[in-house]
Amino acid sequence: MFTESKTIELKREYTEDIRKSVTAFANTDGGKIYIGIQDNGSVVGISQKDDLMTRVSNMIRDSIRPDVTLFTDISIEQFDRKDVLVIHVQRGTARPYYLHGKGIRPEGVYIRQGASSVPATEAAILNMIKETSGDSFEKARSLNQQLTFDGAAAYFEKMGVEFFDTQKKTLHLIDQDGMFTNLGLLLSDQATHTIKLAVFEGDKKTIFKERREFTGSILLELEEAYDFIERYNKTRSEFKGLERMDQRDYPIEAIREALLNAVVHRDYAYSGSILISLYDNRLEIVTIGGLVKGISLNDIMLGVSVLRNQHLANIFYRLKLIEAYGTGIPKMMAAYDDYEVKPMIEVSDHAFKITLPNTNYKHSAMKERLSSGLSQRELQILTLLKRNKVVGRKEVELEVGISQATAVVTLRNMLKKGLIEKVGSGKNMKYKISQ
């Protein structure tokens, strides 16, 4: 006598719902489906067994993804001298299996609960993906299998790199079962991770000047975020003799490396966005995900690189966005070698923050102070200090064309106002712009 259970399903005749049971068994602990036996266990048998075997085989092959045929066996057995079709389904290794056209969603993924095949919860689906794909986010199968790559294809074409199905498999956007991975999702037009950028007035998060959110393929998000920052990356020009000297608020190389670091090394298992905040005096980039286990901030500063997203980094390497692993942070720091201000890196358990200082901010702030009523002599001295960093009293006399006594009085007043500060003492006394 047959009875239905977690591993046994009885069907009087073939119906399309059998595919749900096959999916459920493959996602759970395996089982058998008997076609030709009623729910009460009585055997009614089947007719045209060869046609039915072909029909069931085609149904399993065409309606279930990934391919589960390796884990199924279809046979004809006799019970009470009647033919019964038996579908033996093993627990699959590429879970979750789902109905083609429904996707990796509860309405497409089934599991066994008691004697029933029921839709899986989203949590159960994610657990199956983790079990079969490991902890690597980029290697796991994407919940969305309806992906397009118009943006990524255009970017690859611009960079002179081929981007066909063969390359998608080589780059691990498609796994060995022909399924899109989470890495494929990141590069697709349907990518769910975004970059949020806000511009503030002053040096605090009080007054918004502009805010944007970039969506789509992370390749395009990266490009759009860089272009947006460049709109605010002003150039200050001054002349040294006949030579014109241009200085950007933020070194281009530093912006580039900080953005690439944020996109390549973030933890995409979290859904939060990369946050970019632009103030008058600094640019902040906060990335979700702290350092990879076993790596310290000192290691990062020395150029040590342990990749959280190995395949994503390889794509950026092929696109020549990065030259070698572990060089980004040192290159970003080197971009500030000629400036007094330096980048700052802060790390918590779940976040990584890079702060790039505005190299022209001190000069801009000084201009504001000058507009508040400084004398022409004080303006000339500040200009001299900006050019030469540190100067003595005699240099001030020559530059401004004033006597020793006038220079002493003027410098003393500037010290009182906090515009300048002393360097050294006695005969070696010099002055520099106040910090």
Res 94: pLDDT: 82
As a CATH number, domain 195-358 is: 3.30.565.60
The DSSP element (H or E) to which 34 belongs, if any, is strand 31-35
**Short-list 309, 2, 409, 223, CA closest to 11:** 2
The tens-digit pLDDT sequence of the chain (435 residues) is 689 999 999 999 999 999 999 999 999 999 999 999 999 999 999 999 999 999 999 999 999 988 899 899 999 999 999 999 999 999 988 889 999 888 888 999 999 999 999 999 988 988 888 777 666 789 888 888 889 999 999 999 999 999 999 999 999 999 887 889 999 999 999 999 999 999 998 888 888 899 999 999 999 999 999 999 999 998 876 656 556 667 889 999 999 999 999 999 898 988 889 999 999 999 999 998 877 776 777 777 777 767 788 899 999 999 999 876 667 888 899 999 988 889 999 988 888 999 999 998 875 555 555 455 678 888 888 888 888 888 999 999 988 889 988 999 999 988 888 888 898 888 888 998 886
Res 339: pLDDT: 87
CATH class of 373-433: mainly alpha
The DSSP element (H or E) to which 297 belongs, if any, is helix 297-301
Q: Where in the chain is the domain with CATH 3.30.950.30?
A: 8-133
Q: Where are the alpha helices (DSSP H) in 346-422?
A: 361-370, 376-388, 393-400, 404-417
CATH class of 8-133: alpha beta
Q: Where in the chain is the domain with CATH 1.10.10.10?
A: 373-433
pTM higher than the cut 0.85: no
Bridge-based pairing of strands 8-11 and 31-35 is: parallel
Q: Where in the chain is the domain with CATH 3.30.565.60?
A: 195-358
Whether the upstream peptide bond of residue 96 has omega within 30° of 0, thus cis, is yes
Reading the block at residue 246, the tokens are 């241009």
Using CA atoms, how far apart are residues 86 and 32, in angstroms rounded to an integer? 7
Residue 173: partners with Cβ closer than 8 Å, 6 or more residues away: 180, 181, 183, 184, 187
